[in-house]
Structures are given as C-alpha cells and as structure tokens.
Amino acid sequence: MEKSALQIARAAYQPKLPKALLGPVVAKEGKPTQSVGDQEEIKALFPNTYGMPVIEFVPGEQKQLEPFNVGIILSGGQAPGGHNVISGLFDGVKSLNPANKLYGFILGPGGLVDHKYMEITPEIMDEYRNTGGFDIIGSGRTKLEEVDQFEKGIQILRELGIKALVIIGGDDSNTNACVLAEYYAAKKYGVQVIGCPKTIDGDLKNEQIETSFGFDTACKTYSELIGNIQRDCNSARKYWHFIKLMGRSASHIALECALQCQPNVCLISEEVEEKNMSLDDVVTYIAQAVADRAAEGNNFGTVLIPEGLIEFIPAIKKLIAQLNDILATPAAKNLGRSEQIDFVKTHISKENLDVFNSLPTSVARQLALDRDPHGNVQVSLIETEKLLSAMVAVKLEQWAKEGKYVGKFGTQHHFFGYEGRCAAPSNYDADYCYSLGYNASRLIANGKTGYMSVVRNTTAPAAEWIAGGVPITMMMNMEKRNGKMKPVIRKALVELDGAPFKFFASKRAEWAKQTAYVYPGPIQYWGPTEVCDQPTKTLQLEHQ
C-alpha cells in the first residue's frame, strides 16, 4: 500500500495513555446506579445489567490471565480515531497475554450475524495506527435487536473462542450493545459486551462521558474549511456563505465551529426550539444580520446551520412527530410515493396540514417520504442552507421595497459532513481513542459486561486522565421509535445554560456586525502543546 510522507511519520506516533493504565489495575467501584429516566421500565428490561456501579481503574497487582480472544465491531457512521480504539484494544489484550487474539467482524454488526470476520494480526494493525477511517474492517448499520441475531452471533463467538465483544458506536449502537449484553448475561453464555462512545455529532456524552470520540477531529477539520471560506469571503467581499454542518439531533458541531471561527451567524437548533421560533423567525433573524452588515457596506458574511435545524422548529417538529406515527402504521406500508403523500394529508391534523402545505414542495416531500433505518427523517437530504438563503433573499427584496434594506445579496452554499468523518485523528483523538480501546481490555480482564469504556479529565495532560467504566443502562430512558416505546441512550443536546453556549451568546452580537473571523488552519501534529494537543473549545469551557 502506497503511503504519503505524513502517513509514514504519523504511523510512528505512540499515543499517550493515562498513568493509571500503564501498569496492572484493579476496579474501584462506586455506588449502585440507576437510569437517567424511566427507572422501573429500564430495570425490568435489563435485570442482569441494571444498577451496576461506575468503576475507576486504580493501580493493582499483576495477575496472570489464561489466554482469551476478543471480537470487535465498528457500527454506524465513521468517526476519526476508530482505528486507534482498535489498536489500543489490540495492544491491551496482547499485554494481558501475548497469546490473546483479536477478531474484527466485517462491515459492522452484520458481520457478527453473517459470520464474516478476520483476525487482526500485528502486521495488519501496524498499517492502520493513527489513521482516519474505518476501513480496517469496515462499518455497517445493521441493528442487533432480534433473538435470532443474538443466537447466530453466539455461534461464531463460541467457534472463535471469543470471551468478549467490543462494539464501537453511537447511542443507537451502544443501546444495541446493552441489549446484547443483557441477553448473553440472562442466558449465562459467558460472553462480555463492552461499548465505546463514538459519534462526531458529540451527542453521546453525560456526567461520565466527557466527549464522544471523533468530535474533536471533525470539528477541527470543519473549522479549517470554514476558516478558509471566511478568508475568501473577506477577500472577495461579495458573497454570503450558508454552511450546513453535520449534527442531526444536536448542534454541538455548529457551536464548536462557531467558537473556533467566529462567524457572523450561527443557528443553534436547541435555542430555536426553546424560543418557539417559526421558520419565518429564523429567516428574519438571518436577514437582519445581512441588513445590518449591508448598512456598514459589508455585503458578505458566513452563516452556520446545524443539519437537524428543521426538526427543531416547533411547528415542524410537531408535524414530523405525527408523520412518524402515521408512517409507522400498517396502512401506510407498501404505498407508492404519491399515494403516501395523499395518505399523510388525509390523516394529519388541520394545524399540521397547514404547516405541511406552507413548506416548499421538495421539503414537504422529504419530510413525508424519506426515512432512515431508525424511522427518522433524513435531514441530511434536506438542503436547509439553500432553503434559508432563498427565503432570506425574498425577505430582503421585500425590505428593499419598503426602504429597510440597501445592499447586494449574493450567496454560496456548502454542506460539510463526509469531509470530517474519516479525517486523520488529531493528537487529542489519537490519544483519547487509544486510551478507550486499551481501557476496554481492562474492563474485559475485570469481568465486566454491559459497560461503556470511559476516559475522563481529558482537559488535563493525558497522564492525568481517569479511566474506568459506566453501566450503559445508566444512560438509558424510554423513547418512541418507529411508533413503539423502546429503551435507548438519551442524546445529549446543547445545554443553553451551559458555559459553551453562554460564551457564544455573549459574543454573537459582536460577531454578527463585525468581521471578527478566526482562521484555525489545518490540524497540527507536531509542535507546541498549545497548538497540537488542545481539546475542543467546548470541553475547555465546560471544565474551566
């Protein structure tokens, strides 16, 4: 395989580990836990894995363990650092006993069900250290929910002598990991299941999980691109750039990029919902910023838009909720696309029908027809950036006739998503992910199942990071999915009373009017620690 000079140099990087993981460890247990919501329902669904304590690893005595094998699965969308989780796990299990083997299941959870796997050897592992992507074994979106899948899985796990399975994924994937851990525990199959928190969206976090891996690298990648656009914007001085950013359920990426780049406008979906803003309110807010800058002779600017914004506008959110229920009914199945539109229109409330009819035809069709495997609207397909810029143009034209606006409004559109998902991990993500994987090996060695690998205190130097595990059931509540109530990990949205948002809110009026752009530049791997090893602005503000 041909490699660039950077890949060759980067392969030699040895990720940093928390001091606590550098020698033998023992699990220090906290108090019994409970789920974040719906305690009785979650406890009833997970009797064997509910209520376990949070654990922290502290130095212990060296123990000789019998050889054991481990399986690993990459689940869901890619995120920078996945290969380092695998390399950390690989090195961790080998340090426990050199005879231990690591097997990767091909193309996600489907590889477990279909018995498609490969052994990860030292030669293979060395090809992928500190690289972006999930291409070592591939990823997939098969959901592990059915008993038949669990039973097919145990067949191959037994055949390969696998003692523990590590599932790297987001909230849905780790919910599946928890269901699998409970099933294997109830059946006394003797197979442990451990999760690792992955998602560039940044919405898999709580008091125990400071950040999901990949968020740091993805935000730095997007911020470099936004900075480049802002430099161009400030050079040409003739375009407003509408930039949509990944983050379907939470605006963490948009907020972090705003903190790094200081754009003129950044919308935060959670605030739009909190303030009960209509689509016209959002358009008016952007148009006012455009008009104010035009009054100063600045007919250019940048607008950051979270991918999931449309779902957070309260009127549209109500419409989507009813659409989800209607489309999950048996009567809605197997209808043609035009028939489905007619079916929807005759079954929604008058209030929701009025909202539906007020939307551009293309957006209305996407809300009514396009769903992902979890039954959610595929918001990434809705070109919100173009929708908003077109509506702002109409608003400005109206204001111009009324003498409220004098200026030119030229636009450019961007959507940054895939550009960040497989980027080479930053030093932070390289270290964090390697630590998560290495830590997972210690959870396995300590006999844990139904736990998420967690590493905390990550705004400090890596040596001071705290490693341990948190029961996945602790993060769960009941939510409606595909028309049914299901146990799921609660997503972490942007907290409007949190330090990152408050700092942003204190600065945005200034950034809106002034050209206060910051140009972060590309990710740096070598040099001063304040350039190379810094966590996100979000983490720094949350832990200052």
Positions marked catalytic: 201
Burial 492-504 (b: 16+ CB within 10 A, else e): bbbeeeeebbebb
What strands lie across the sheet with 451-456, from one edge to the other?
25-32, 53-59, 466-471, 451-456, 192-197, 162-169, 69-74, 101-105, 117-119
Count of other CB atoms within 10 angstroms of residue 425: 33
Residue (of 262, 520, 269, 305) closest to 414 by Cα position: 305
Exposed/middle/buried for 147, CB within 10 Å: 0-12, 13-18, 19+?
exposed
**H or E, element range at 317:** helix 314-327
CA distance 253 to 219: 6
CA distance 307 to 387: 12
**393-to-43, 278, 284 alpha-carbon distances in Å:** 53, 17, 10
**Cβ contacts of 410 within 8 Å, gap of 6 or more:** 238, 239, 240, 299
Q: Say which DSSP state 362 is in.
A: H
The token pair at 191 is 């197979």
Residue (of 197, 75, 201) closest to 493 by Cα position: 201
The token pair at 56 is 């922290």
Residue (of 489, 491, 474, 490) closest to 53 by Cα position: 474
CB hemisphere CA count around 538 (13 angstroms)? 25
CA distance 21 to 465: 10
Exposed/middle/buried for 469, CB within 10 Å: 0-12, 13-18, 19+?
buried
